[in-house]
Amino acid sequence: MLSFVLSRRFLVFSLLLIILVHSWAVLTSAYFHYQWLDIVMHATGGFWIGLFAIFLVKNISYPYVIAFWLVLGLVAIVGILWEFFEFGMSQIGLELGRAAFIQPGLEDTLGDLLADLLGGAAAFILFQRRKEIL
Beta-carbon contacts of 15 under 8 Å, excluding residues fewer than 6 positions away, are 48
Q: Angle of helix 106-127 relative to helix 64-95, nearest 10 degrees?
A: 150
In-domain check, residue 134: no
In-domain check, residue 21: yes
| pTM of structure | 0.86
In-domain check, residue 60: yes
Q: How far apart are CA 32 and CA 36, in angstroms?
A: 9
In-domain check, residue 44: yes
Nearest CA among 11, 31, 15, 130 for reference residue 89:
31
In-domain check, residue 115: yes
pLDDT tens, residue order, the chain (134 aa): 557 667 889 999 999 999 999 999 989 989 889 989 999 999 999 999 999 999 888 878 888 889 999 999 999 999 999 999 988 888 887 777 766 666 778 888 999 999 999 999 999 999 876 544 44
Domain count, the chain: 1
Residues in the chain: 134
Task: Show the domain range for 25.
Answer: 2-127
In-domain check, residue 133: no
Q: How far apart are CA 89 and CA 94, in angstroms?
A: 9
